[in-house]
Amino acid sequence: MKGSFPLYFTIWHKLGVYAIRSTAGAVLIFLILPIVVVIPLSFNSEPFFSFTKGMLTFQAEAYSLRWYAGILDDPNWILAIKNSLIIGFFATLLATALGTVAALGMSSPAMPLKRTITAMLISPMIVPLIIIAAGMFFFYSRLGLVATYPGVIIAHAALGVPFVMITVTATLAGFDRSLYNAAVGLGAGPGRAFKDVVLPLIRPGVISGALFAFVTSFDEVVLILFLAGPDQRTIPRQMFAGLREQINPTILAVATLLVVVSICLLVTLELLRRRSERLHGRHAA
């Protein structure tokens, strides 16, 4: 190795590496720049969606927390935050339970038709949401679940199940099934063996999947537009309504808070990933 390139790299290889890095950096900037712009705009003291002269010259009076305070003063935002947390929490519980069971079933050597069943389980990630929402609306209309909390929770859980299943399945790929068989052979029941042997080892994958399911529910707006009533309005639905009905910088304040929440969740996922790698390395050793 010479520098950061192998010795056999020609000038064209090096140019290719630099081109890939430059393209990746440009795409990253293109994706991050709108978020970076939103954050300072949320502190604008004026009801504008643009930088004022005072903000550009860093005058203290040009910045304010009025839009963050406005979130707590608006009953519509309070209801939206409450609904997002309640729906997200119960949808995450349901998706985590179903996704974990599905992953355990898919990892079993005796499971028939694995490819077909897996394709059906991950279909919510592939099929356009507008099609899923329309289908659920007509199906829920017959069951009386439209504009109800159970209907929205079940719909969001259906979107979160594939994420849980995929993350738990990836964790189970390094799981030694002989540990489970040994626990059963020593007299533990299936439930006790799962609780004391399997669950501690796959816990990082289960928690990661649960976080993905929660974020999916927390950010979902298409299903809410089709299935929710006024009482089930969530944060994305309230933001969508605010952009269409009454443009208000409070939306920017909420968006900034969501960015902070997303960063916290990403940091948590990264810590869980590193912990899972350490566990797998320890068991491999």
Q: How far apart are CA 217 and CA 228, in angstroms?
A: 13
Is the whole-model pTM more than 0.85? no
Is 68 a domain residue? Answer: no
Q: Are residues 107 and 197 in the same domain?
A: yes
Q: Are residues 27 and 158 in the same domain?
A: no
**Tokens 């928690």 map to which residue?**
207
Q: Are residues 22 and 94 in the same domain?
A: no
Q: What range does the domain containing 53 cover?
A: 11-62
* Angle, helix 75-107 to helix 149-172, in steps of 10 degrees: 40
Q: Are residues 100 and 27 in the same domain?
A: no
Q: Are residues 206 and 248 in the same domain?
A: yes
What was the pLDDT predicted at 95?
Answer: 95
Q: Are residues 139 and 29 in the same domain?
A: no
* DSSP type of residue 221: -
What was the pLDDT predicted at 1?
Answer: 44
Is 21 a domain residue? Answer: yes
What was the pLDDT predicted at 158?
Answer: 93
Q: Are residues 46 and 19 in the same domain?
A: yes
CATH of the domain at 245: 1.10.3720.10
What was the pLDDT predicted at 159?
Answer: 93
Q: Are residues 89 and 117 in the same domain?
A: yes
What was the pLDDT predicted at 281?
Answer: 59
What was the pLDDT predicted at 55?
Answer: 86
Whether residue 249 contacts residue 42, with contact meaning beta carbons closer than 8 Å, is answered with yes
Q: Are residues 148 and 216 in the same domain?
A: yes
Q: Are residues 35 and 92 in the same domain?
A: no
What was the pLDDT predicted at 266?
Answer: 82
What was the pLDDT predicted at 2?
Answer: 45
Per-residue pLDDT tens digits of the chain, which is 285 residues long: 445 777 778 888 888 889 999 999 999 999 888 888 888 888 888 887 788 888 888 888 888 888 898 888 889 899 999 999 999 999 999 999 999 989 888 887 777 888 888 888 888 888 889 999 999 999 999 999 998 999 999 999 999 999 999 988 888 877 777 777 787 777 777 778 878 888 887 888 888 899 889 989 988 889 999 999 888 999 989 888 877 766 778 888 888 888 888 888 888 878 877 776 676 555 544
List, as one string, the DSSP characters of 14-39. Answer: HHHHHHHHHHHHHHHHHHHHHHHHHH
Burial class (CB in 10 A: 0-12, 13-18, 19+), 238: buried
Q: Which residues of 107-125 are buried (b: 16+ CB within 10 A; e: fewer)?
A: beeeeeeeeeebeebbebe
